[in-house]
Amino acid sequence: MSDVLKTIKVEKILICTISRPEVMNALNKEVLNSLKDLFEKARENNEIRGIILTGEGEKAFVAGADIKEFSSYGPMEAYKMSEKGQEIFSLIENFPKPVIAAVNGYALGGGCELALSCHIRIASKNAKFGQPEVNLGIIPGYGGTQRLPRIIGLGRAIELILTGKMIDSEEAFRIGLVNKVVEQNELIEESKKILNQIIEKAPIAIEMALNSIISGIEMTKEEGLKLERSNFANLFSTEDMKEGVSAFIEKRKPNFKGK
Ligand code: COA
């Protein structure tokens, strides 16, 4: 655990709070390194079956990369920074267990990109989303130009990135940027509820579903279908598949073991 990334484990869910409230939880190097470390460790930890990412306080999820770190940067430093952020956000996107962004306030720039790299986004009513980089004379550098159009469609992504405008949670829901909008005080409970619904399923099936969707979307349809059928077939060698099918036939709840 680090000062800028607080974690609490609630049963099989790890709740991670990005904590730099004095700067709206902006992502500096320390937060990025802590996120990398956390996801690498959580991947190997069988006691963790899902992650919720949120921000400290009621104002900001993450208000972007730390703009104050930019002032001394030239192209080389910027390239490295973007490369590192992209690597960490891809680690989150490709995480084999479900990750929910519980967006509790401003999700701007790198904060919006962080939410985009999570598998599901739940927002509080006061949440605001945007890619305001053009206001600084730059563009999104942590995957926003690639993930935003994949999630909300090309036309809407172009409009958001080129205007740099902010949208509220209702608009974010309407355009499919968030899955659900709830009251601030229900945000973590609602995120836990959704994760618990996923966690009670067979873990290897969840991992294979994520893999088929996240990797498949980058492939041609034929390649994606091939990936789907090999993941589908491999699941037939798991104990959990046998348990799931037997439980259905015997009219009981399955007891999945992750094997
Ligand atoms: N990086 C560094 N510091 C940031 C920051 C960021 N991305 N976002 C906010 N902060 C800091 C502010 O500089 C301010 O610090 P100060 O008290 O030392 O002046 C503090 O957080 C509070 O922010 P403030 O702007 O006073 O709050 P607000 O309620 O008026 O506005 C925002 C909130 C989020 C709308 C505004 O801070 C903002 O536009 N932030 C930048 C968003 C952005 O462009 N992100 C993309 C970066 S590539």
| Residue to mutate, 24, 73, 138, 161, ligand 1, most ligand atoms under 8 Å from C-beta | 24
Is the dihedral angle over the CA atoms 239, 48, 125, 120 positive or is it negative? negative
Q: What is the pLDDT of residues 61-79, one digit of tens each?
A: 999 999 998 889 999 999 9
pLDDT on residue 1: 60
Contact by Cβ (8 Å): 203, 255: no
Point out the ligand 1 atom lying closest to the alpha carbon of residue 23. Answer: 21
182 DSSP β-pair partners: 124
Q: What is the pLDDT of residues 39-57, one digit of tens each?
A: 999 999 999 999 999 999 9
Nearest CA to ligand 1 atom 42: 63
CA geometry: angle 14, 247, 51, nearest 5 deg = 10
Predicted confidence at residue 25, as pLDDT, reads 98
- Residue 219 phi, psi (nearest 5): -105, 170
Query: Mean pLDDT across the chain, nearest whole number?
Result: 97
Q: pLDDT value at position 2? A: 79
The alpha carbon of 89 and the centre of ligand 1 are apart by a number of angstroms equal to: 22
Rounded to 10 deg, the angle between the 239-249 and 203-216 helix axes is 110
**What pLDDT does 201 receive?**
97
Residues 6+ apart with CB under 8 A from 112: 129, 130, 131, 140, 144, 148
141 lines ligand 1 (CB under 6 A): no
**Cβ neighbours around 250 below 10 Å, total:** 9
Nearest-atom number in ligand 1 for the CA of 59 is: 29
Q: Helix, strand or coil for residue 117?
A: helix
- Ligand 1, residue 108: give the atom nearest the CA: 45
Q: Encoding tokens for residue 120?
A: 């599901």
145-188 per-position pLDDT tens digit: 999 999 999 999 999 999 999 999 999 999 999 999 999 999 99
Pocket of ligand 1 contains residue 66 by CB under 6 Å = yes
Does the pLDDT value for residue 107 go beyond 90? yes
For residue 107, which of 37, 187, 42, 197 has the smallest C-alpha distance? 187
Nearest CA to ligand 1 atom 30: 24
Residues involved in catalysis: 113, 133
Determine which residue's CA is closest to atom 22 belonging to ligand 1. Answer: 23
Is any ligand 1 atom within 6 A of the Cβ of residue 203?
no
Residue 18's pLDDT band (cuts 50, 70, 90): very high
Ligand 1 center–CA 201 separation, angstroms:
40
pTM: 0.97
Instruction: Give, in order, the Cα–Cα distances in Å from 191 to each of 73, 201, 229.
Output: 37, 16, 30
Phi, psi of 65 (to 5 degrees): -65, 160
pLDDT band at 20 (very low <50, low <70, confident <90, very high): very high
